[in-house]
Structure 1
Amino acid sequence: MNDKSTKSFKKSRNRGSIERETKEADHDGDVMTLVSKNVISVPPTTSIIDTAHRMIEHEFRRIPITDPGSKKILGIVTTMDILSFLGGGDKYNIIKYKCNDNYLAAINEPIKEIMTRGVITMNHKASIKETVKAMVDNHVGAMPIVDKDDKLVGIVTERDFALALAGVLTKETVEDYMSSDIITITPGTSLDYTTKFMVRNSFRRLPIVSEDENAPDHTEDRIIGIVTSTDILRYFVDKKFFSQMDTNVASDLLEEIKISEVMSKGARTVEPTTKLGDFAELLKEKNIGGVPVISHDQVVGIITERDILKAINNS
């Protein structure tokens, strides 16, 4: 082999080495085994109502907002953000002040008006352990995954972790991780009050109870359903809601609507002694995100996908 050939071979071999090192350095972390890669996102100019319709259509509790050119993430919107906008929290000020209480005008505002900015993301090289910890520490239910150029390449949610990893939680029970400070409402509670209460307390679901007339002094409550932020959003985007609006002001109508019109009836329940793995199987089978915990016919807590995420973080 002459000197020229030798130099060419060495150059080729070195380039191959560099390519392999680059590829290895940019490999995916194991979190990518759980990531949804065909991410549906919307640009910041999409209207609030169109974004809400997209979320209900795909049964999303959150949707990333991305730059249509670079695909970099600009923000994220959750069902709770939209409930805050529709009357439950500070984002209602857009309707009240910017749009002079004109509900129909406000829902056509761009989604960038209510999106959460400064979104926490994880690199595609992250591990499952790192991602779970970041989600628990930051109290978020989903983590957008980006590449080396900060382009959105996927998203992973607490549900993804709960369904994939809860099988390893063979000893943990519901009572180890459930929230015991449970708040319930009755079917006669107004939609206006319910929405505000959920947003102010960061509750994505509330059990619905009625007093058991056969119990002494009406001390025992019987669960008859559950209402989630998605249930309320679905009701809001339903054309039936708009058909009831004979004025531009929505606040009066929200006060008139009872939660019995919105709630899901006959909620699934678990007991405190239920294994977390069995609870996760129930979530998967029924396509739900959380259930009330019942003991001796009383609601003693609530358990959700996020609680499973906390258990995984502790394991």
Structure 2
Amino acid sequence: MKDKTSINRKSNTGAVEHVTKVHDREGDIMALATKEVISIPPTKSIKDTAKVMMEHEFRRLPITDPGSGKLLGIVTVMDILDFFGGGKKFNIIEKKYEDNFLAAINEPVKEIMTRDLITLSTKVSIGDTLKTMLDNQLGAIPLVDADGKLAGIVTERDIALSLAGMAGKETVHEYMSPKVFTTTPGTPLESACKIMVRNGLRRIPIVGGEADISKANKKLLGILTSTDVIRFLNAKELFDNLNSNLASDVLKITVSEIMVKDPITVEQTMTIGELCQLFAEKNIGGVPIIKDDEIVGIITERDVLNSVRRA
């Protein structure tokens, strides 16, 4: 039977005022939010959920009751990385299905979704939304109406992109994370997923290629993102080339085989406004920061939001 999940998608209509100027305006969050939200039922398989994410370039999908439209939970790319070897949800593959990858990915998404959600009313302000996101380290917040039905969703990206060309002249150096978690090209995918899930990372730079270990630890060779992992899970070649159904065989692929080998990078002198413009143009949410061909930091949409709160 054909899946009846709605696939309407609304593009945000231009930038709003600088966020710091509209903190007190009730309900202005809907100027940034996506109102016609793609949601999926709790019975959709993990495999098909990843497919919807990839088709629409989403990092998260709300789970709603098909009858009432009420919000039941949310699934994110980090949940899938957790399932794929990064954390406790890997138990579905490892224990419930005894390493049978093909069986496990057909489990309903309700088995890995987050049920205990933080939601906000459609009447909340941008400022309160921003505070809730940063205080709880959330990448997105569902917006619900008085009946608990999903009425919209707002993400870090929505707020960050609204600042494209409008943010101040502060440089990325002021807000970047100088502590960068990295790994090497030979790292198995399962291990990379563990690093990302345990440290709450949606992207991890890949370094190496130098005989001098002190330089190899900083020489950028590529980047692996959560989206790359989802893309790998959806690749036709993955299923065509499976020699067995064992997850251990699938997950031993090294990150060098699926990483982006020419990642977009920026220098420390780029302004936050220019960075937001880059995020918008390239449809990315974070970039490594380079100095003299070595990685010295990383900056993401969340760092941009922190720059707004500190302004």
Deviation track 1:31-84 (CA, whole Å, cap 9, x = no partner) reads 000011110000111111111100001000000001112211111101110111
Tell me which residue corresponds to 1:5: none
1:227–1:262 CA contact under 8 A, matched in 2: yes
Tell me which residue corresponds to 1:95: 93
Larger Rg: 1
- Give the structure-1-normalised TM-score: 0.86
Q: State the distance in 1 between where 2:209 and 2:92 align.
A: 38
Q: State the distance in 2 between where 1:159 and 1:145 align.
A: 16
Aligned positions of 1:13-162 closer than 5 A: 29-162=27-160
Q: State the distance in 2 between where 1:258 and 1:267 align.
A: 18
Q: State the distance in 2 between where 1:45 and 1:217 align.
A: 48
2:209–2:221 CA contact under 8 A, matched in 1: no
Unaligned residue ranges in structure 1 (runs of 5+):
1-26
- Give the structure-2-normalised TM-score: 0.88
Tell me which residue corresponds to 2:241: 244
How many corresponding residue pairs?
286
Tell me which residue corresponds to 2:225: 228
Q: State the distance in 1 between where 2:248 and 2:145 align.
A: 43
Q: State the distance in 2 between where 1:310 and 1:70 align.
A: 36
Q: State the distance in 1 between where 2:228 and 2:283 align.
A: 14
Letter in 2 for 1:76: I
1:308 has 2:308 as partner: no
Q: State the distance in 2 between where 1:222 and 1:88 align.
A: 25
1:263 has 2:248 as partner: no
User: Runs (4+) of structure 1 moved beyond 6 Å?
Assistant: none
CA RMSD of aligned residues (A): 1.7
Q: State the distance in 2 between where 1:281 and 1:168 align.
A: 9
Unaligned residue ranges in structure 2 (runs of 5+):
1-24
Q: State the distance in 2 between where 1:184 and 1:70 align.
A: 44
Q: State the distance in 2 between where 1:209 and 1:268 align.
A: 15
Query: Aligned-pair distance for 1:28?
Result: 7.1
Letter in 1 for 2:225: T
- 2:201 maps to which of 191, 198, 203: 203
2:85–2:190 CA contact under 8 A, matched in 1: yes
Query: Aligned-pair distance for 1:218?
Result: 6.0
**Cα 1:217–1:33 shift into 2, 3 Å:** closer
Identity of aligned residues (%): 56
Q: State the distance in 2 between where 1:64 and 1:129 align.
A: 23
Q: State the distance in 2 between where 1:47 and 1:240 align.
A: 20
Deviation track 1:144-197 (CA, whole Å, cap 9, x = no partner) reads 111111110111110110010254431322112111111222222221211121
Query: Aligned-pair distance for 1:243?
Result: 2.3
Query: Aligned-pair distance for 1:297?
Result: 1.8
Q: State the distance in 1 between where 2:214 and 2:90 align.
A: 37
Tell me which residue corresponds to 2:276: 280
Q: State the distance in 1 between where 2:34 and 2:294 align.
A: 38
Query: Aligned-pair distance for 1:217?
Result: 6.7
Local SS of the residue matching 1:183 = coil
Q: State the distance in 1 between where 2:143 and 2:137 align.
A: 17
Query: Aligned-pair distance for 1:288?
Result: 1.0
**Cα 1:147–1:207 shift into 2, 3 Å:** same
Local SS of the residue matching 1:219 = helix
Local SS of the residue matching 1:119 = coil
